[in-house]
């Protein structure tokens, strides 16, 4: 089955999808996005993703109502059309097509809505069994990481450095030495059987998987705390866990060539991931 795209009201094969060169998403990264995966063919946590999408649109004053446009209905229709065993859905909404000027265009410019539907290949089980290695990297992103903006160059540079060094992910560290999150993941850590996470705010993305894992921890009776952590303190954690739409919950066994805990996935990540998969 060919990969599928949706562009402003029309489904086409991905190879045939086109957008105008003066789309502000291309010119300025003036847009937002969401990524949704399926389990057993059903979009997981779609309502939460759509709420976050609306938040990002509103914060950038992009005039589109997610519910009125029927984004959820289109996602479901695209999943059915694509007919993959499991589907990865990318949603991107930009301010629209207008002559290239920095200020917002006139009110009659319509937002551009693009989606892609691809086969979802999950991480190999070996990664969950053995854990992954990270590097630390300066957090070079803008000050509104709570908006899921398409302006991801800083994230790309961090991930590329991790790839060059043979690591799974880059752990972002701000100018004050505190951990924020990964280039495309959220970060948890365990100390004395408590689960810690970076405090919510404008310096991190309000991750859907992060939210769900915190709910699961509560259901399991695990105490969860939001706490700002420096890199040197994180290295002393009993466990470090990465979370994300395609990552789910994976153990970190090494950061900057320093072993975390026992160097193997710990009890906490196994409990949380098992409960997460049961929920899916």
Q: How many CA atoms lie within 13 A of 25 on its CB side?
A: 20
Q: How many CB atoms lie within 10 A of CB 155?
A: 20
The gap from C-alpha 27 to its chain's centroid, in whole angstroms, comes to: 23
Q: At what angle do helices 267-279 and 208-219 cross, to 10 degrees?
A: 110
Tell me the torsion sign for CA atoms 115, 67, 80, 34: positive
Q: Are 260 and 165 in contact (CB under 8 A)?
A: no
Marked catalytic residue, from 110, 118, 130, 148:
148
| d(C-alpha 60, C-alpha 94), whole Å | 10
3-state secondary structure of 144: coil
Annotation says 148 is catalytic: yes
Q: How many CB atoms lie within 10 A of CB 11?
A: 16
The residues that are catalytic are: 148
């Amino acid at each position: 089955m060919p990969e599928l795209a949706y562009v402003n009201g029309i489904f086409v094969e991905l190879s045939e999808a086109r957008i105008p060169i003066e789309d502000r998403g291309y010119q300025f990264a003036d847009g937002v996005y969401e990524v949704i995966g399926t389990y057993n063919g059903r979009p997981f946590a779609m309502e939460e993703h759509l709420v976050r999408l609306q938040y990002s649109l509103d914060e950038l004053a992009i005039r589109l109502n997610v519910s009125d446009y029927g984004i959820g209905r289109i996602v479901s229709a695209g999943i059915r059309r694509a007919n993959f065993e499991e589907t990865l859905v990318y949603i991107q909404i930009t301010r629209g097509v207008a002559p290239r000027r920095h200020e917002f265009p006139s009110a009659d410019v319509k937002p551009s809505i693009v989606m892609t539907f691809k086969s979802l290949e999950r991480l190999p089980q070996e990664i969950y069994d053995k854990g992954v290695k990270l590097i630390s990297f300066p957090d070079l992103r803008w000050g509104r990481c709570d908006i899921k903006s398409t302006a991801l160059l800083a994230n790309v540079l961090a991930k590329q450095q991790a790839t060059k060094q043979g690591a799974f992910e880059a752990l972002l560290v701000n100018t004050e030495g505190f951990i924020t999150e990964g280039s495309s993941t959220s970060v948890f850590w365990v100390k004395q059987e408590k689960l810690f996470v970076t405090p919510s705010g404008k310096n991190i993305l309000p991750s859907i998987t992060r939210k769900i894992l915190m709910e699961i921890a509560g259901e399991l009776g695990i105490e969860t705390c939001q706490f700002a952590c420096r890199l040197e303190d994180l290295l002393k954690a009993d466990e470090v866990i990465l979370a994300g739409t395609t990552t789910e919950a994976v153990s970190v066994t090494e950061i900057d060539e320093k072993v975390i805990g026992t160097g193997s996935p710990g009890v906490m990540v196994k409990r949380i991931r098992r409960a997460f998969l049961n929920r899916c």
